[in-house]
Structure formats: C-alpha cells, structure tokens
C-alpha cells in the first residue's frame, strides 16, 4: 500500500515515530506515575505538547488515565493533574506450563494479579499437555475479566522456547519438541498470543515493573523442575539465534554424586532442580513423595534434615550465580526458587555463596528474589503480553497497523 501525499502530511514522521513516542510516554507513566504531565515531558524528552497528544491517544485506548483526586491543592490547570497507568481498565492473560500443572491468570497493566486458575496435565506429554487449558481458558477469560477487554495473552514454560516461531523447541522433561503454542492458543482465545521461556519472561517483568537497576543489567536464574537462565542488558533480554540462550542445565557446580543424563556429574540441573532435590529427600527418608513443596513444608515445620537439604541447594544455586556473575557482572542477580520465595534465609545463603565464590562481586545483597514474590509465576505468564504492549502500545491495541515499521 502506498501513501498518498495527504497521508504523509497527516503523519510526516511515519507510524514508527508515532509508536515510539507513544511507547516513551507510556513507559514514563509506568515508571513515574502518578505524576504530572510536565514531569512526564521532562523524563521522556518530548515536548509538553507531544506528551499531551500521546497521553490523549493512550487514554482513548484505556491504557492511562488522569488521577484528579491526587492533584496537589493550590495548583490549578490540567498539566498538574497527575496521570497514571489505568489499572482498572484493560487486562492481559497469562499461562505458565509447569511439569504437571498449568497456571493461568489475568493481570492488570501494572502486572497485579486480578484472577488466577489452574489445571493439571499430570501423565500427559507432547501436545496433550495443552488440552486441559484449551478446554478451560476461554470460559475463564470470559467470566473473570468482568467485561474488561483482554488485550493479549502470554504463554511461558521452561526449556528452549522460540518467541518468533511461537513454539517450544525442546522441553525434555515434558517430552515437548517443536510444539506450537501461539497458533492453538490464538485459535482458542481470539487475542494475540506472545510466547517465551519463563526465565526470560521473569527477567522482562523485573525490567518493566521491578527494581530500576535491573534495567542496566540483570542475570536471572530460574530453579524449578527445570533450571533456566536469562540475561538482560540495557533493558533488553538476550535471546540469540533461535532464542536458545539461557540453558544452564549443565553448568558445573561441583556437587558429588549427582549423575546427569548428559553423562557427567555435578551439573546444575541434576544437582539443584526441584526434581533432583525432591528425589534426594525421598531417598533420605525426609519426605514420602518426590514433591519439593513437601520438603519446604517440612523445613518450615522445623525438620532440620529438610532445612539442611534446602540450604545445600541454596549453596549450589549461589555457585551457579557466581559463575554467571563473573562473566556478566550484572547489577542485579535475580533468583526464582520456591523455598526462598517463602523464607528469605535461603536467599541469604545464596547471596553469601555468591559473594564468597565470585571474583567480581563481594556484595551478598546483589542477589535478590523477584519483586513479584509468590506471584512470580502468574506474572511470568502475562509478562510477554505486557512487554509487547509497552513496546508497541498502538500496534498491540490495534490502533496502528500490525505491519507498521517500529
């Protein structure tokens, strides 16, 4: 389609500039809101007139709103009315596919959890793991959104996930290979679906909604039934060719006895994954079933054997964090791991091990848990959709053509 001279006059800078300016204002409101438009202009580097124009466009889409009730007394005039993200407006949905259970949710535009649900897929492998959620999700979104528009949907899991292809390339524990996620979910839900690895999604959520220093540099370790990592530099999460970055399953952490399917011993996944830990806990008679939540409960109830196993795991995670920290020297070392989400003492063990082992970081406080806390998995699910919305607010809401260059 070619542009007529009138089109060019109407938008001389092109859709790319318009989208970039809208995104800059949207992000500044996210970072600093509620605040006055004049402050948004200072922080985004745009003129007050441009900020007002972009704000109006974003408000028409329901993404931002004025907060007159927060205006400081004595200041009259519209520029002083604080503006903020509209957390009572549109939503995004999210899905996290775990080893035996899928969790789905609705999030507002500041990544607060509005509703959540789940379905088991225990015993299923391959494409069949999606069947229970495909059955339930359309009704969940219709009933729980309460009439609020759902702008997009995120779907995340562990292993090798390719966002461009919208597919899981490989997830050995779930028996997934080249499984499309985006296409079946878009067919079932009728909204744009964004797919990613869960470690990258949590890193993106931290960059958008969490600690400001995570924008400069963040390394994230996800320690669950599978282990994954993500690296973000200058606000961009690295993916690499076919989005394969982040496989830390075979990082050597030097633990004795933990034989890995790759043939070596001491690999991180074989040493420190939830599965490996739970199997060790069963073998030592600490818990009856290989379920890490039983171990966490036992430690919380005062069982010293359970506590010792969790501390050992925290040390192994700290070693892996030290290896990655020496290579990348990130501003934030983020760790998502079950026991430390509930008890910060295990996070302190990881931080101490990091400071002890690293050659470039002697500060245990550089290692932190995700800002989302126990809501980290729902937030991970919706994060790819929120990241797309904040990157391209006009395209993501259909207010600019999907093919427009940005």
Q: Which residues bind Zn ion (CB under 5 A)?
A: 250, 260, 262, 267
- Tokens standing for residue 194: 């964004």
Q: Give the nearer residue to Zn ion in terms of CB position, either 187 or 264.
A: 264
* Residues 6+ away with beta carbon under 8 Å from 398: none
Question: Omega into 34 within 30° of 0, i.e. cis?
Answer: yes
Torsion on CA atoms 207, 212, 215, 217, rounded to nearest 10: -110
- Tokens standing for residue 321: 């964090």
Q: Give the nearer residue to Zn ion in terms of CB position, either 132 or 252.
A: 252
Give me the least distance between CB of 143 and Zn ion, in Å please.
Answer: 44
With the C-alpha atoms ordered 347, 353, 359, 362, is the resulting torsion angle positive or negative? positive
List beta partners, residue 267: 252
| C-alpha pair distances (Å), 25 with each of 128, 289, 326 | 42, 51, 36
In the 8-state DSSP scheme, what is residue 165?
T
Give Dmax over CA atoms of the chain in angstroms.
77
Burial label, 382 (beta-carbon count in 10 A; 0-12, 13-18, 19+)? buried
Give me the least distance between CB of 14 and Zn ion, in Å please.
Answer: 49
Give me the least distance between CB of 185 and Zn ion, in Å please.
Answer: 32
Q: Give the nearer residue to Zn ion in terms of CB position, either 24 or 268.
A: 268
3-state secondary structure of 171: strand
List beta partners, residue 82: none
Q: Give the nearer residue to Zn ion in terms of CB position, either 219 or 268.
A: 268
Give me the least distance between CB of 96 and Zn ion, in Å please.
Answer: 25
Q: Give the nearer residue to Zn ion in terms of CB position, either 277 or 306.
A: 277
C-alpha 401/C-alpha 3 separation (Å) is: 13
Q: Give the nearer residue to Zn ion in terms of CB position, either 186 or 247.
A: 247
Give me the least distance between CB of 270 and Zn ion, in Å please.
Answer: 6
- Relative to beta strand 91-97, strand 101-107 is antiparallel
Q: Give the nearer residue to Zn ion in terms of CB position, either 63 or 267.
A: 267
Give me the least distance between CB of 146 and Zn ion, in Å please.
Answer: 47
C-alpha 61/C-alpha 52 separation (Å) is: 14
Give me the least distance between CB of 222 and Zn ion, in Å please.
Answer: 17
Residue from 137, 101, 166 nearest 385 by CA? 166
Q: Give the nearer residue to Zn ion in terms of CB position, either 83 or 268.
A: 268
| C-alpha pair distances (Å), 36 with each of 21, 45, 52, 66, 319 | 17, 14, 11, 9, 45
Give me the least distance between CB of 260 and Zn ion, in Å please.
Answer: 3
Q: Give the nearer residue to Zn ion in terms of CB position, either 244 or 399.
A: 244
Residue given tokens 């600019």 in the structure block: 400
Q: Give the nearer residue to Zn ion in terms of CB position, either 116 or 250.
A: 250
Give me the least distance between CB of 248 and Zn ion, in Å please.
Answer: 10
* Residues 6+ away with beta carbon under 8 Å from 123: none
Q: Give the nearer residue to Zn ion in terms of CB position, either 58 or 248.
A: 248
Give me the least distance between CB of 272 and Zn ion, in Å please.
Answer: 12
Give me the least distance between CB of 276 and Zn ion, in Å please.
Answer: 11
Count other C-beta atoms under 10 Å from residue 383's C-beta.
31
* Residues 6+ away with beta carbon under 8 Å from 370: 202, 205, 206, 210, 334, 336, 341, 376, 379
Count other C-beta atoms under 10 Å from residue 45's C-beta.
11
């Amino acid at each position: 389609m070619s542009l007529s001279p009138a089109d060019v006059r109407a938008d001389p800078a092109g859709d790319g500039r318009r989208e970039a300016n809208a995104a800059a204002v949207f992000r500044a409101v996210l970072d600093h809101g509620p605040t006055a438009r004049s402050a948004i202009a200072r922080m985004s580097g745009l003129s007050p007139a441009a900020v007002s124009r972009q704000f109006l466009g974003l408000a028409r889409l329901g993404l931002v709103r004025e907060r007159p009730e927060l205006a400081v007394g004595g200041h009259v005039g519209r520029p002083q009315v604080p503006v903020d993200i509209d957390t009572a407006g549109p939503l995004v949905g999210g899905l996290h596919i775990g080893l035996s259970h899928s969790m789905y949710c609705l999030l507002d535009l500041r990544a607060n959890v509005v509703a959540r649900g789940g379905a088991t897929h225990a015993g299923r492998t391959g494409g069949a793991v999606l069947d229970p959620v495909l059955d339930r999700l359309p009704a969940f979104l219709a009933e729980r959104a309460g009439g609020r528009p759902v702008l997009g949907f995120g779907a995340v899991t562990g292993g090798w996930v390719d966002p461009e292809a919208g597919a899981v390339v490989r997830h050995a524990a779930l028996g997934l290979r080249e499984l499309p996620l985006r296409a079946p979910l878009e067919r079932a839900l009728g909204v744009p679906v964004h797919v990613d690895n869960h470690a990258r999604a949590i890193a993106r959520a931290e960059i958008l909604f969490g600690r400001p220093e995570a924008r400069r540099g963040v390394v994230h370790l996800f320690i669950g039934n599978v282990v994954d990592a993500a690296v973000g530099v200058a606000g961009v999460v690295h993916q690499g060719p076919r989005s394969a970055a982040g496989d830390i399953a075979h990082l050597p952490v030097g633990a004795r006895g933990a034989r890995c399917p790759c043939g070596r011993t001491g690999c991180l996944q074989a040493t420190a994954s939830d599965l490996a830990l739970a199997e060790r806990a069963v073998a030592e008679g600490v818990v009856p079933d290989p379920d890490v939540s039983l171990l966490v409960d036992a430690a919380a109830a005062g069982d010293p054997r359970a506590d010792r196993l969790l501390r050992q795991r925290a040390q192994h995670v700290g070693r892996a964090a030290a290896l990655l920290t020496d290579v990348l020297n990130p501003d934030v070392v983020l760790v998502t791991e079950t026991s430390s989400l509930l008890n910060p003492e295990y996070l302190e063990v990881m931080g101490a091990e990091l400071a002890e082992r690293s050659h470039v970081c002697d500060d245990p406080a550089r290692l932190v848990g995700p800002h989302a806390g126990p809501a980290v998995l729902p937030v991970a699910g919706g994060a790819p959709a929120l990241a797309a919305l904040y990157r391209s607010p006009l395209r993501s809401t259909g207010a600019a053509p999907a093919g427009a260059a940005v």
